[in-house]
Amino acid sequence: MSGSLSSVDPQIADLIRAEERRQTDTVKLIASENYVSKAVLEATGTVLTNKYSEGYPGKRYYEGQQVIDQIETVAVERAKALFGVNHANVQPYSGSPANLAIYMAFLQPGETVMGMGLPFGGHLTHGWSVSATGKWFNPVRYGVRQDTGRVDMDEVREIALRERPKLIFCGGTAIPRTIDFPAFAEIAREVGAVLAADIAHIAGLVAGGAHPSPVGHADVISTTTHKTLRGPRGAMLMATSDEHAAALNKAVFPGLQGGPHNHTTAAIAVALKEAATDGFKDYARQVVMNARALAEELLARGFDLVSGGTDNHLILMDLTPKGVGGKPAAQALDKAGLETNYNTVPFDPRKPFDPSGIRLGTAGVTSRGMGVAEMRQIGAWIDQVVTALAKDEDEAKRVIVRVHAEVRELTSHFPAPGL
């Protein structure tokens, strides 16, 4: 019981080291990923994992909470201060359980939820058919306009007035444009719905002042903590006012979850402290500047970007005009050291497991200190790999080998935080 990981389980230790090397040598362009700091990583791997603490600070179902209560209280207070909310719950295990808690707090099974359809950039838990939220509730959906690739708020209002949802979600996983929280709030008020803003992707941008905040507009805010916010894998629920605090808390525990993951809570607290610094504001701004630079480079190289560009950290590309599917493109880019994910695009005629697009994000590369010049280089590499792939297999193999070597050279100059 006292040996180090490498002596107790060299197999897993080696695999972790291999993943460290892979992350070091790769250009991380997955829009939902990031690198946590050494401090966040350190907090995650602590004895806090040994402790059960069902309940909330001051009201637990296990003894021995002298320290855990303090940690959770610090995390909650930091979340409240950073986002300017009255209530925060830092216990949800991740984004999906956080969103489920919103249903539990406000809806009965069978009642109507309105969210952005998954192929348009929404999330599974916003009422998509294969998710429990689409099976156990009555989902209605909005999307984006085919000509603009953007949400049409008139259409959202029309659907809301017709369907009278009790809960409306705004936000999602593949939205390259600013979310109009005031407009969503007005519609929610008009139909008497609770407005939930899922800011999982943009929480770090909101905290850093690089995206408008839903605070004061949405009744409830859910977010993961590990995307642009650069914390550990976890989630939070927040509310502008105290009105919904009790319902949200009850929904998380005992409604859906047991003991919170205290090592994660501590790491969230550390990440929130980091996100409150001026350095993080610079980071958030740079993430957006980098995404714009990458988008410009890709547009100049003839790529078709959904909505024609980006306002945030995320780019969604339709590869149809390039004659390549999203999946083979993502696989070829991965072999070249450029890590992305294949993604459906709005009105995609192809299947979700073999869609037309890829999704890119700049949170990870910005955490490594890369800037506009590196984005231009990355755009050029993406073009070279995709163009070669469209041409022929041997050409693609040659380009992948060359680009991979160049990627390793570039990444060696930009150490990844925490690694």
Q: Is 198 a catalytic residue?
A: yes
User: Does 285 qualify as catalytic in the annotation?
Assistant: no
Scored b (16 or more CB within 10 A) or e, 343-352 reads bbbbebebee
**Cα 256 from Cα 238, distance rounded (Å):** 17
Choose, from 233, 250, 273, 376, the residue flagged as catalytic.
233
Asked whether the beta carbons of 237 and 102 are under 8 A apart, the reply is yes
**3 state DSSP class of 400:** helix
Residue 240 or 310: the one with the smaller Cβ distance to ligand DSN is 310
If one asks whether residue 361 binds ligand DSN (CB under 6 A), the answer comes out as no
Question: Between residue 13 and residue 32, which ones bind ligand DSN under the rule CB under 6 A?
Answer: 32
Least gap, CB of 124 to ligand DSN (angstroms)? 7
For residue 224, the minimal CB distance to ligand DSN (Å) is: 7
Quote the least distance from Cβ 54 to ligand DSN, whole Å.
26
- Cβ proximity to ligand DSN, 123 vs 263, nearer residue: 123
Count other Cβ atoms within 10 Å, centred on residue 68: 21
Would you say 123 or 177 has its CB closer to ligand DSN? 123
Q: Which of 24, 52, 350, 383 is catalytic?
A: 52
Q: How far is the CB of 125 from ligand DSN (least distance, A)?
A: 8
Distances from the Cα of 32 to the Cαs of 47, 57, 149, 419, in angstroms?
A: 28, 30, 20, 19
Q: Is 224 annotated as catalytic?
A: yes
> Shortest approach of ligand DSN to residue 32 CB, angstroms?
3
Contact 281/50 with Cβ under 8 angstroms?
Answer: no
Marked catalytic residue, from 54, 180, 334, 383: 54
Instruction: Collapse the DSSP code of 224 into the 3-class scheme (helix H, G, I; strand E, B; otherwise coil) and give the result.
Output: strand
Which candidate, 73, 417, 90, 416, places its Cα nearest to that of 268?
90
Nearer to ligand DSN, 118 or 210 (CB): 118
Binding mask 161-200 for ligand DSN (x = CB under 6 A): ------------x---------------------------
Pick the catalytic residue from 112, 224, 264, 265.
Answer: 224
Q: Which of 72, 163, 198, 219 does the annotation list as catalytic?
A: 198
Between 53 and 344, CB nearer to ligand DSN: 344
* Closest to ligand DSN by CB, 163 or 311: 311
| CA distances in angstroms from 78 to 71, 82, 90, 95, 193, listed in the order given | 11, 6, 10, 19, 29
128/253 with CB nearer ligand DSN = 128
Cβ atoms of 219 and 199 closer than 8 Å = no
Q: Which H or E element spans position 55?
A: strand 55-56
Q: Are 75 and 91 in contact (CB under 8 A)?
A: no
Our CA dihedral for 300, 303, 309, 313, rounded to 10 degrees, sits at -100
Which positions from 119 through 138 interact with ligand DSN, judged by CB under 6 A? 123
Count the residues of the shown chain that bind ligand DSN, applying the rule CB under 6 A: 4
Active site (annotated) includes residue 56:
no
Choose, from 78, 166, 227, 322, the residue flagged as catalytic. 227
Q: Which residue is nearest to ligand DSN (CB)?
A: 32
Give the strand pairing for 167-171 and 338-339. unpaired
Q: What are phi and psi of 87, to 5 degrees?
A: -135, 140
Phi/psi at 34 (5° precision): -160, -175
55 φ, ψ to 5°?
115, -160
Specify the residue, 95 or 127, whose C-beta has the smaller distance to ligand DSN: 95
Give residues 41-100 in contact with ligand DSN (rule: CB under 6 A): 95
CA 264 from centroid of its chain's CA atoms: 17
Q: Is 413 exposed, middle or buried (0-12, 13-18, 19+ CB in 10 A)?
A: exposed
State in angstroms the smallest separation of the CB of 332 from ligand DSN: 20
Q: Is there binding between residue 231 and ligand DSN (CB under 6 A)?
A: no
Picking from 195, 125, 123, 119, the residue whose alpha carbon sits closest to that of residue 157 is 195
List interacting residues with ligand DSN (CB under 6 A). 32, 95, 123, 173
Residues designated as active site: 52, 54, 198, 224, 227, 233
